[in-house]
Amino acid sequence: MSKHSSIDSFRDLRPAAANGLYDRRAFLKGGTAFATAIGGYTLSETLNAQSLVDDPWSASAGTPTGPYEARSRFENSVVRTMTNPNGEPRSQQSRTPHHMLDGTFTPNGLHFVISRSGPPDIDPDQHRLAIHGLVKQPLIFTLDSLMRYPMVSRMAFVECGGNSAPMWSPEPLDANVQALHGLVSSAEWSGVMLSTLLEEAGIEPSAKWLIAEGSDSLALHRSVPLSKALDDAMIAMYQNGERLMPGNGYPMRLLLPGWEGNMNVKWLRRIELVDQPAMSIYEARTYAPILPGGKAYQFYFLQEVKSFITHPSPGLLLSDHGFYEISGIAYSANGRISKVMVSADGGESWAEAELQAPVLPKAFTRFRIPWQWDGGPAVLQSRAWDEAGYVQPTRSEIVAARGEASRVPNVNGFPSQHYNGPTSWQVNQTGEVKHVYA
């Protein structure tokens, strides 16, 4: 069979939008029509059919299975990037390699981490959580005691308020999806609802906020409206089924589904109910984005609706013409993703992508759409809607409202925060993908 037979199959299908986008349900309807489609992102030439022989790894028994599974040695390049590997006295960021992952949750070893002074080495038996302030009875909890409470599991994304910050650049950057959007990840979190513990302590009527504080060396603290704490906040102790990773707050963190990552305080040791916000450095200074004209937003709680294409994206060479699946990630603090549109011609025409079920609120939603690359130039772009009716703004809309950086920033820099505009990937005729504005 020819590797190009998939092109013939496509001739019978009606395009959903220009430049090779096909109906999102083509696979579901078409069945075997794509049986010979090229599967993905090999960096080498697709093999021609040839006679098969036993491979060397089939000739003898394999290796013993270890107590904790390690991935194939061929996957060792799938790693986070690090901005401060030697632990200098500044924050460190590790970014998720979205272009090398699929699905809707992030493996624990690849979940993004921002740490201001390095994860503390916490003995879980010695760790304590105090709840005090404007409560009827201050309480202290051990990890053992919290483990006896009714638990809840839910998928939720966590995103740094500074994720996508390079997109404030006035010019496109020579950067991949990991560099641009690697400070967001999604996981299944399990723990105790914070409302349960607050009700046990007894909330005084004058309480309006809580201050959450970690046991890291900087005792990082953030103010959270009590209404969010009573809505869906969780004291999370498990991440994708196992205890939290140290970088994600072991042994417990505050989880505020959909809200600014920095507020999801890690290594949580103290919650104080108060009548006013603390105006901690992170809410008074760091995560208060400056607006055109000189005012600044304060309390930018929500990580608003956003999407980006992970496949294809820079670093993934399109080795041949023909079929590719365009896929990516969408999420919103305002609930479920309701629709993702994809363009292959820089926003001139759009087709609706398939949303991978289940579509869960405040969690990653994977979108997919078939694409036939004819070898010509293409600009791929996605745009998401959420169930609350919010739509990802166009780049011109977000720049009009929020401005852009006065100079091209370092790709690891944070010229501003809370960018949720679209991302455009240009595919050139050699199959290379790069970041552009379109």
Q: How far is the CB of 332 from other proteins (least distance, A)?
A: 14
Site residues (CB under 8 A) for other proteins, limited to 386-425: 402-407, 409, 415-416
CB of 302 to other proteins, least distance (A): 6
By CB under 8 A, residue 284 contacts other proteins: yes
Binding residue (CB under 8 A) for other proteins from 109, 124, 138, 389: 138
Interface of this chain with other proteins, residues 153 to 172, rule: CB under 8 A: 168
Residue 206 within binding range of other proteins, rule CB under 8 A: no
Subset of residues 303 to 342 that bind other proteins, contact rule: CB under 8 A: none
Tell me which DSSP letter residue 302 carries.
B
What length is written for the chain?
A: 438
DSSP three-state, residue 157:
strand
Q: Which member of 302, 388, 436, 438 binds other proteins (CB under 8 A)?
A: 302
Least Cβ distance, residue 339 to other proteins (angstroms): 23
Q: How near is the Cβ of 313 to other proteins at its closest, in Å?
A: 25
Question: Which pairs with CB-CB distance under 8 Å and at least 24 residues apart come from 42-45?
Answer: 42/319, 43/317, 43/319, 44/319, 45/319, 45/320
CA dihedral 94, 415, 366, 151 (to 10 degrees): 60
Rounded distance between C-alpha atoms, residue 290 and residue 165, angstroms: 13
Pick the closer one to other proteins by CB: 169 or 382: 169
Determine the interface stretch with other proteins among 28-36, 102-110, 147-155, 312-320 (rule: CB under 8 A). 147-155
Indicate the residue among 145 and 429 with the shorter CB distance to other proteins: 145
CB-neighbour burial class of residue 433 (10 A; exposed 0-12, middle 13-18, buried 19+): buried
**How far is Cα 104 from Cα 60, in angstroms, rounded to an integer?**
36
Identify which of residues 13 and 408 has a Cβ nearer to other proteins in the complex: 408
| Binding to other proteins, residues 93-132 (CB under 8 A) | 117, 130-132
Phi-psi region of 352 (alpha: psi -120 to 50; beta: other; left: phi over 0): beta
Find the part of the chain contacting other proteins (CB under 8 A) among 2-10, 31-39, 104-112, 300-308: 300-308
User: How many Å apart are CA 310 and CA 68, to the nearest integer?
Assistant: 29
